[in-house]
Structure 1
Amino acid sequence: MLGRRFASSSAAVKTQFSTLKNGLTVATESNPFAKTSSIGLYLEAGSRAENPYNSGVSSLTTKVLASPLRLKGIENGVYISTINSKEISGITTEFANGNNKAAVELLKQVLKSSQESFNNTSLVANEAKLAGKLAETIEATPRVTVLEHLNSTAFQGTPLALPTYGKADTVSTLESMDLEAFYKKNFVASNIAIVGTGDINHDELVSLAENLELSSGTKPESKNSSFLGSEVRFRDDTLPKAYIAIAAQGESLDSPNYWVAKIASEVNGEYNAHSIFSNFLGSKLSHIIRENHLADTYSHFSTSYTDNGLWGFYTETDNVGNIDDLIHFTLKDWNRLSTSITAGEIERAKSALKLKVLSVSESPLLQANKLAGDVLLSGFKPSSEEVVSRINAITVSDVMKWAQTALWDKDIAISGTGQIEGLYDYNRLRNDMAALRW
């Protein structure tokens, strides 16, 4: 073991990171009060590590590796599953406390029998078929479709534009050779983290992880992404609503303005017309939306990747005759971030953000997924105290300065489906990114 990179602790939860001689990272978030535990093998290779010809291979590879061991895992009290995102994929386990060795042994068997799994053509074909159906299901979900297309048009021409779970007509045709090539390139120790959460002893997991059979190859490099102002529309009047997302270029994970952008997104936050709390939201935009029934829901976001990001909002509305008003008032409110945002609004946004980022999930598996993203993409996890300190230090001036640089008169990416006839042309919407009046 080379050494500890970072450790933080609170009254119950203790977070530790270690790097082994072969480059493998071991991260734990120990909580002796957790009812269950999770250990996962995560790699920094999600859909971004793919290309248009093998789209979906990251998700399919982990599924093929995990599938043959599901029954054995259940027999040993361990539930095995997989996850996939733009920049991370993984094979995860959940189990009752005290079954750590069985979980790691299961992950060890996943690696040891990888070639056998790839050689099982019927297994690969069946999982590819299921993956194709999953992709079709995702593509039929308006919210997911719109946000995937937003990424696709914003980062077009780069791997970051590829769909998270692949395209249905591509993933269903993948074969063993595609999976083997992905495995050989990405399943290397320096590209992997073993993450444990729940009632986990860090040193014990380090000892178990040292016995995993992993290649010591070079960590793959990912192609840089670039933002492009553009739009993609799939009008479908058979859908009951209009589903729309608009975003400007956001901040990367290592950006000094990462938390500033997060706070800016919380100024207007989220709105749901059907929520009993909708009348009590404090943002100016939510009042305009509610009083004029311009949208059923909206949510602002600041999504960050390793080298880029998106800052914007997603909305659904059945008032399809007033889409122009909905978008106009939203983008005008974005203008306020550059000119007239108040200290009270920023303080409310900071409180909302702290509530979100400091909330502890009841599921050790969800905690493990989050911790894996921290260690693989950022190399560390800030303590709660550090997060609070960074958020508290941000001022109205910081937000205004950021908005003047990142939002004011900047290009945008637009994605929409459903009854979007009333979604005006790109130039009309782009012009609303800057105005001389409110």
Structure 2
Amino acid sequence: MWIDAGSRAETDENNGTAHFLEHLAFKGTSNRTQQQLELEIENMGGHLNAYTSRENTVYFAKAFNSDVPQCVDILSDILQNSKLEESAIERERDVILRESEEVEKQLEEVVFDHLHATAFQHQPLGRTILGPRQNIRDITRTELTNYIKNNYTADRMVLVGSGGVPHEKLVELAEKNFSNLPAQSPHNQAYLLSKQKADFIGSDVRVRDDQIPTANIAIAVEGVSWNDDDYYTALVAQAIVGNYDKAMGNAPHQGSKLSGFVHRNNLANSFMSFSTSYSDTG
């Protein structure tokens, strides 16, 4: 289930809510306990997971074709009937705070967060997915339920099947399991801001830490959206530039001319190219 809501649909005050909800998704519903959820998935040999990005939250299951109806029922239950118990919220709060600490040690993640923050200054796309640590400490059950009420609506959710799943059957399952969803999101301030076209701002940000022995740098230009005719062209350009890692055994022969030049002249330990697209920019 793809939901048109991530950190871009938040405010500065509740930034981190979408990711927090992802952590609580499998902690029990009004129909199933956490243990029952886990056993049900395990008994069908399936896999249940979720992830959050800046523009989407995705809850998904992998299972045999014959178990698709049961999987859709489970996803429906999770998305519409999660209990969000205070005890589970407090447990996951500690987990997310530790996750935040780990992310802060991953220099690539830190650089990309700074890149978004400066390219989309004072805009929803500039926020991080996990949110500030103070927000993680302060997020309440009310904020979590409000986020669901404001964003988990029929006009912003798409049930997707891949593999041997007949389209007509999936439509039937959607009608059966999701017919009670609110038809439309309330057009509150957070919603309206999230739908404004993002402005890419040429700028830079530099964070100095002399305890780190290397420079970790990201350079970006305004790219293309998912809907742009040049979306795949940008991905091809990314592939041509390629990636390089000095630690790899085949480092001198990793394909692109740039990789060879960097290796021969000892210019960097590694580099990667990226093309990151959103609904209206990139």
Match of 2:115 in 1: 150
Give the Å deviation of 1:209: 1.3
Match of 2:225 in 1: 252
Aligned CA distance change for structure 1 residues 75 and 263 (closer, same or farther; 3 Å): closer
Structure 2 distance, partners of 1:261, 1:111, is 35
Q: 1:270 aligns with which of 243, 257, 275?
A: 243
Match of 1:286 in 2: 259
RMSD: 2.1
Match of 1:80 in 2: 48
What letter is aligned with 1:275?
A: M
Q: Does the 8 Å contact 1:73/1:79 carry over to 2? A: no
For the residue of structure 2 that corresponds to 1:71, the secondary structure is helix
Q: 1:71 aligns with which of 12, 31, 35?
A: 35
Structure 1 distance, partners of 2:105, 2:253, is 33
Aligned CA distance change for structure 1 residues 42 and 283 (closer, same or farther; 3 Å): closer
TM-score computed with the length of structure 2 as normaliser:
0.86
Give the Å deviation of 1:190: 1.0
Q: Does the 8 Å contact 1:70/1:79 carry over to 2? A: no
Aligned CA distance change for structure 1 residues 58 and 276 (closer, same or farther; 3 Å): same
Greater percentage in strand:
1
Confirm or deny that 1:123 pairs with 2:76.
no
Q: Does the 8 Å contact 1:66/1:82 carry over to 2? A: no
Aligned CA distance change for structure 1 residues 267 and 111 (closer, same or farther; 3 Å): closer
Q: Does the 8 Å contact 1:45/1:58 carry over to 2? A: yes
Deviations 1:366-389 (A, max 9, x none): xxxxxxxxxxxxxxxxxxxxxxxx
Match of 2:98 in 1: 133
User: Any gaps of 5 or more consecutive residues in structure 2?
Assistant: none
Give the Å deviation of 1:165: 2.1
What letter is aligned with 1:126?
A: R
Give the Å deviation of 1:106: 1.1
Give the Å deviation of 1:75: 1.6
Give the Å deviation of 1:137: 1.5
Q: Does the 8 Å contact 1:158/1:223 carry over to 2? A: no
Match of 2:62 in 1: 94
Structure 2 distance, partners of 1:138, 1:308, is 25
Confirm or deny that 1:183 pairs with 2:183.
no
Structure 2 distance, partners of 1:100, 1:283, is 43
Give the Å deviation of 1:160: 0.3
Q: Does the 8 Å contact 1:273/1:296 carry over to 2? A: yes
For the residue of structure 1 that corresponds to 2:158, the secondary structure is strand
User: Any gaps of 5 or more consecutive residues in structure 1?
Assistant: 1-40, 310-438
Per mean C-alpha deviation after superposition, the further-off stretch among 145-154 and 279-288 is 279-288
Aligned CA distance change for structure 1 residues 112 and 270 (closer, same or farther; 3 Å): closer
Q: Does the 8 Å contact 2:51/2:59 carry over to 1? A: yes
Give the Å deviation of 1:112: 4.1
For the residue of structure 2 that corresponds to 1:247, the secondary structure is coil
Q: Does the 8 Å contact 2:4/2:157 carry over to 1? A: yes
Runs of 4+ in 1 over 3 A off after TM superposition: 218-221, 281-284
Match of 2:21 in 1: 61
Q: Does the 8 Å contact 1:131/1:168 carry over to 2? A: no
